[in-house]
Structure 1
Amino acid sequence: MQVIKKVNNNIAICLDNNNKELIAIGKGIGYPKTPYKIDDLSKIERTFYDIEPSYLELINTIPEQVMNVSIKVVDMVRTNIDKPISSNLVFTLADHINFTIKLVKKGMILPAPLKYDIQNLYPKEYELGEKALHIISKDLSVLLPRDEACNIALHFINAQAIDTSSHNNDHIIISDIVDIVSRYFKLYIDKTGFNYSRFVTHLQYLLKNKGDHKNISSVNKSMFKSVTKEYPDTFKCVEKISDYLTHQDIVLSDEEKLYLILHINRLRS
């Protein structure tokens, strides 16, 4: 195996014997000067093919313990779901777990607007989300809210093979929303970057919940008021998005607006 680029001390971009690019994880494989050849393949702990380049930029922002937990959770998912699972799931899930832990430490709770849909329509994925919470609690010594089982399950659902040909209208709506954000903040949005991929993923989740709303919880109602005061410009942008979606027969709840505010702030960071 040929190491062609260091990501960090323990992660590198490599070429296999068929000259196919992959991400390899192994203790110290990023230390030597690249390019170099790894003759002892026992040094490689894990490999991941077909990773989107935009996800590489977030690897160094995620603690190693969180990445290891994500790998363990994805292994569990692969053994319990028959459909192909995207290799990108390890990285998007690790990012979500890391972000959620930071919010919880600040006393914030991510809403789960699709909770009842996921429980009823995707019971297996929801059950795996609950098991993931146990793994996170045990390995990272952090207790996440039970509703996080839904948010994690959404990552499992999104990582399964999807026929995108039937989602053209959703793609148009997503593109329009991204344009609204870009124009409002006079912001250049790098569509090859992970922040963009993360935002689009959330919009896909939002569109799954068209017209089916639950009342905002008392905890998130307080959080919504606080966040709208702290980020008034982002809230105004979300209101523009809400007006646009109303014309698409999609009415956003306060819970969904709260989620959008959080994700747009990440997009702007």
Structure 2
Amino acid sequence: MRVIKHINNNAAVCIDDNGCELIAFGKGIGFPKIPYEISDLDIVDRTYYNVDPMYYEAMNTIPEKILDVTADIVEIYKTHSAEPVSSNLVFTLADHINFAIDRCKKNITVPTPLQYDVQYLYELEYNVGIEALKIIQKELDVHLPKSEASNIALHFINAGTVSSNLNQHTYIDRVIDDITDIIAQYFRIYIDKSTFNYSRFVSHLHYLLKRSEKGTLIATDNKKMFESISNEYHDTYEAVLKIKNYLYEELGIELNQEEMLYLILHVNRLCVREDCNRKSVTPTQDE
């Protein structure tokens, strides 16, 4: 196996003996000067084929321990599922778990409106989600709420769901582009649409739009948390107000405080990574 690109000290892009590209994880695998041949394959802990390059960023921003735990969780799911599982699932799920742990440490609780639907309609995925919570508590010493089992299950469900409705995709893409432009113009930043950071923000918008279509917007009494987050991230709150107005005027979607709370967290996360202090504007041409 030949290492051709450094990702971090413990992850690298490699070429196997058949000429296929893969991501290899192993202690110190990305440290030596590249390119080089791995003479002892025992140093390789995990390999992933067909990984989208946008997820390389996740390998540097998500703690290695969370990536390892998530890989174990995905392996459990794979042993019970008859459907093929993309290598990308490890990184999207790890990012979700990392964010869930961060929210938990800050005592931010976001309800899961589809919890009972997932529990009874997707028994396999939900049961793996329950097992995932046990693994997270054991390996990471973090007690996530039981509702997170449904959120984890949704990652398994969505990983195997591909919509063939082109008009629906076109509509969603247009809405997401408009929302991205609102954020970029408000903060005067350039948002790189090729990054994993942007991809996970788009995933949240997909979920929000799906919930609005089904009439299942998150609705609980969390007024104090909304007020606290709105004050702490006032600029982000103002940007979300613009998004709220856009969704109502263009699509008739009226976001409540719970949906706005979650959107504030995601917009703030996007902007922190894109550096909100830069005074440049997202180009209008396609990326």
TM-score, with structure 1 as normaliser: 0.91
Letter of the 2:185 partner, please give it.
R
Q: Which runs of 4+ in 1 moved over 4 A?
A: none
Aligned residue for 2:203, secondary structure, equals: helix
Which SS does the other structure have where 1:86 is aligned?
coil
Q: Which of these residues, 195, 206, 220, is aligned with residue 216 of structure 1?
A: 220
**Bigger mean CA offset, 88-97 vs 249-258:** 249-258
1:120 Cα deviation after fit: 4.6
Give the Å deviation of 1:199.
0.2
Which secondary structure state, in structure 2, belongs to the residue aligned with residue 48 of structure 1?
strand
Change (3 A) 1:158 1:192: same
SS at match of 2:251: coil
Q: Given the alignment, which residue of 249, 255, 260 partners 1:257? A: 260
Q: State the identity %.
A: 53
- Give the deviation of 1:76 after TM superposition: 1.2
Matches within 5 A, 1:1-269: 1-166=1-166, 167-168=168-169, 169-210=171-212, 211-217=215-221, 220-246=222-248, 247-269=250-272
Alpha-carbon distance between aligned partners in 2 of 1:179 and 1:196, rounded to the nearest angstrom: 13
Q: State the alpha-carbon separation in 2 of the partners of residues 179 and 117 from structure 1.
A: 34
Q: For residue 244 of structure 1, what is the amino acid of its counterpart?
A: Y
| Secondary structure of residue in 2 paired with 1:268 | helix
Contact residue 111 and residue 218 of structure 2 kept, 8 A: no
Could you tell me which amino acid in structure 2 is paired with residue 170 of structure 1?
I
Q: Identify if the C-alpha distance between structure 1 residues 266 and 164 changes in structure 2 by more than 3 Å, giving closer, same or farther.
A: farther
Alpha-carbon contact 2:198-2:270 (below 8 Å) kept: yes
* Distance in structure 2 (CA, Å) of the matches to 1:200 and 1:59: 19
Give the stretch that moved more between structures: 9-18 or 70-79.
9-18
For 1:177, give the aligned amino acid. I
- How far residue 68 of structure 1 moved from its aligned partner, in angstroms, is 1.0
Query: What's the secondary structure of 1:51's corresponding residue?
Result: coil
Give the AA of the match of 1:255: E
How big is the shift at 1:157? 2.2
CA RMSD of aligned residues (A): 2.0
Q: Does the aligned pair in 1 maintain the 2:201–2:266 contact within 8 Å?
A: yes
CA 1:104–1:221 in 2, change beyond 3 Å: closer, same or farther?
same
For residue 128 of structure 1, give the secondary structure of its aligned residue in structure 2: helix
Q: Which deviations, in whole Å up to 9, do the C-alpha atoms of 1:47-91 show, x marking residues without a partner? A: 111212121122122222211100011111212232222211111
- 2:201 is paired with a residue whose SS is helix
**Deviation per residue, 1:112-137 (Å, 9 max, x gap):** 34434433543432232222111111
Residue in 1 that maps onto 2:277: none
Extract unaligned runs of 5+ from structure 2. 273-287
Query: Structure 1 pair 164/201, CA: closer, same or farther in 2 (3 Å)?
Result: farther
Letter in 1 for 2:242: K
Moved more, 186-195 or 147-156: 147-156
3-state SS of paired residue (1:12): strand
The DSSP-based 3-state class of the residue aligned with 1:54 is: helix
CA contact (8 A) 2:23 2:47 kept: yes
Aligned residues: 267
Gaps of 5+ in 1: none
